[in-house]
Amino acid sequence: MRKISLPSGRSRNNLLTHAILILICLITMVPIATTILISFKSQPDITRYPPVLFPCDTPEKTFDLSACRWSVEGYMRVLAPKPSDESPLGFILTGNLLRVYLPNTLLYATASALCVVILAGMSGYAFSRYRFRGRKALLTAILAITGVPLLTNLLALYQMAVNLRKSPLPFDDRIFLIVVYIGFFLPLSVWIAKGFFDAIPRELEEAAFIDGCSPIGALTRITMPLAMPGMSAIFLLTFVNVWNEFLAGYLLVSKNEYKPAMFGLYDFLGQNLINLQVIAAACILIAMPIVVLFLFTRRTFLKAMVEGAIKG
Amino acid sequence: MQHTKPPRKPLRFLRNSLPFWLILPTVIFLFVVQVYPALYTVWLSLQERQPSGWTFVGLKNFDRLFNMSIFGESAGHTIIFLVSHVILTMVGAFIIAFLLSRKIRFTGFYITVLFIPWIIAQIIVGLVFRLLVAPDYGLLAGLLQNPDLFPPNGLSVLTASRPLPWFGEFPFPPSPAMILLIIASTWRAIPFVTLLLLGAIEMVPGEVLESAMIDGASLWQSIRYIMIPLILPTIIVSILSLTLNAMNGVGLIFSLTDGGPGTSTNILSFTLYTIGWGQLQFGRAAALALIMAVINWILIAGILRNNSSEGETN
User: Count of alpha carbons within 13 Å of B140, Cβ hemisphere only?
Assistant: 19
Closest by CA position to A285, among listed A121, A101, A90, A143: A101
Residues of chain B contacting residue A210, judged by C-beta atoms under 8 Å apart: 7
Phi-psi region of B216 (alpha: psi -120 to 50; beta: other; left: phi over 0): left
The β-bridge partners of B102 are A4
Residues of chain A contacting residue B306, judged by C-beta atoms under 8 Å apart: none
A-chain residue closest to B296, CA distance: A148
Q: What is the pLDDT along chain B (314 residues), one digit of tens a residue?
A: 445 554 556 667 766 788 888 899 999 999 999 999 999 999 999 988 887 778 888 888 899 999 998 899 999 999 999 999 999 999 999 999 999 988 788 888 999 999 999 999 999 999 999 988 887 778 887 778 777 777 666 777 777 777 777 877 777 788 889 999 999 999 999 999 998 899 889 888 878 888 888 888 888 888 888 889 999 989 999 999 899 999 988 889 999 988 878 888 899 999 999 999 999 889 999 999 999 999 999 998 898 888 765 444 44
Verify whether the Cβ–Cβ distance A309 to B20 is below 8 Å.
Answer: no
Residues of chain B contacting residue A190, judged by C-beta atoms under 8 Å apart: 26
Interatomic CA distance for residues A121 and A126, integer angstroms: 9
For residues B286 and B45, the answer to whether their CB atoms sit within 8 Å is: yes
Interatomic CA distance for residues A276 and A293, integer angstroms: 26
- Tens-place pLDDT, residues A75-101: 888 888 888 777 777 777 778 888 889
Helix (H, G, I), strand (E, B) or coil at B102: strand
Q: What is the pLDDT along chain A (312 residues), one digit of tens a residue?
A: 445 544 445 677 788 899 999 999 999 999 999 999 989 988 888 887 777 778 877 777 777 777 778 888 888 888 888 887 777 777 777 788 888 899 999 999 999 999 999 999 999 989 988 888 888 899 889 888 887 888 889 999 999 999 899 888 888 899 999 999 999 999 989 988 998 888 888 888 888 888 888 777 877 788 888 888 889 999 999 999 999 999 999 999 988 889 999 998 888 888 877 788 899 999 999 999 999 999 999 888 887 777 766 554
| H/E run at residue B286 | helix B282-309
| H/E run at residue B50 | strand B47-50
* Res B312: pLDDT: 44
| Closest Cβ–Cβ partner in A122, A147, A155 for B244 | A147
Verify whether the Cβ–Cβ distance B250 to A240 is below 8 Å.
Answer: no
Q: Going by C-beta distance under 8 Å and a sequence separation of 6 or more, which residues neighbour residue A224?
A: none
Helix (H, G, I), strand (E, B) or coil at B279: coil
Which domains does chain B show, CATH number per domain? Answer: 69-309 (1.10.3720.10)
The domain covering A96-311 belongs, at the CATH homologous superfamily level, to: MetI-like (1.10.3720.10)
Rg of chain A (C-alpha set): 25
- 3-state per-residue secondary structure call for chain A: CCCECCCCCHHHHHHHHHHHHHHHHHHHHHHHHHHHHHHCCCHHHHCCCCCCCCCCCCCCCCCCHHHCCCCCHHHHHHHCEEECCCCCCCEEECCHHHHHHHHHHHHHHHHHHHHHHHHHHHHHHHHHHCCCCCHHHHHHHHHHHHCCCHHHHHHHHHHHHHHHHHCCCCCCHHHHHHHHHHHHHHHHHHHHHHHHHHCCCHHHHHHHHHCCCCHHHHHHHHHHHHHHHHHHHHHHHHHHHHHHCCHHHHHHCCCHHHCCHHHHHHHHHHHCCCCHHHHHHHHHHHHHHHHHHHHHCHHHHHHHHHHHHHHC
| Closest Cβ–Cβ partner in B20, B41, B206 for A155 | B41
User: CA dihedral defined by B90, B91, B96, B101, rounded to 10 degrees?
Assistant: 80
Q: Going by C-beta distance under 8 Å and a sequence separation of 6 or more, which residues neighbour residue A124?
A: A189, A190, A191, A192, A193, A194, A195, A196, A197
User: To probe the interface with B, which of A155, A254, A297 has the most B CB atoms within 10 Å?
Assistant: A155
| Closest Cβ–Cβ partner in A2, A136, A302 for B205 | A2
Which amino acid is present at A166? K
User: To probe the interface with B, which of A1, A102, A148, A202 has the most B CB atoms within 10 Å?
Assistant: A148
Question: CB contacts < 8 Å between A and B, how many?
Answer: 321
* Chain B nearest CA to A190, separation (Å): 9
Verify whether the Cβ–Cβ distance A5 to B102 is below 8 Å.
Answer: yes
**What is the distance, to the nearest Å, from the Cα of residue B49 to the centroid of all Cα atoms in its chain?**
32
Residues of chain A contacting residue B111, judged by C-beta atoms under 8 Å apart: 302
- Tens-place pLDDT, residues A8-29: 456 777 888 999 999 999 999 9
* Chain B nearest CA to A119, separation (Å): 6
* Res A132: pLDDT: 85
Q: Which residues of chain A are in CATH 1.10.3720.10 domains? A: 96-311
Interatomic CA distance for residues A61 and A42, integer angstroms: 19
Mean per-residue pLDDT over chain A, rounded: 85
Residues of chain A contacting residue B110, judged by C-beta atoms under 8 Å apart: 21, 25
Residues of chain B contacting residue A4, judged by C-beta atoms under 8 Å apart: 101-103, 201, 204, 206, 209-210
How do strand A91-93 and strand A81-83 relate by DSSP bridges? antiparallel
Residues of chain B contacting residue A129, judged by C-beta atoms under 8 Å apart: 3, 19
Taking CA atoms, A229 is separated from A34, A191, B13, B116, in Å, by: 36, 15, 31, 22
Verify whether the Cβ–Cβ distance B307 to A243 is below 8 Å.
Answer: no
Verify whether the Cβ–Cβ distance B102 to A276 is below 8 Å.
Answer: no
Verify whether the Cβ–Cβ distance B25 to A119 is below 8 Å.
Answer: yes
Verify whether the Cβ–Cβ distance A51 to B30 is below 8 Å.
Answer: no
* Res B260: pLDDT: 77
The β-bridge partners of A81 are A93
Verify whether the Cβ–Cβ distance A266 to B254 is below 8 Å.
Answer: yes
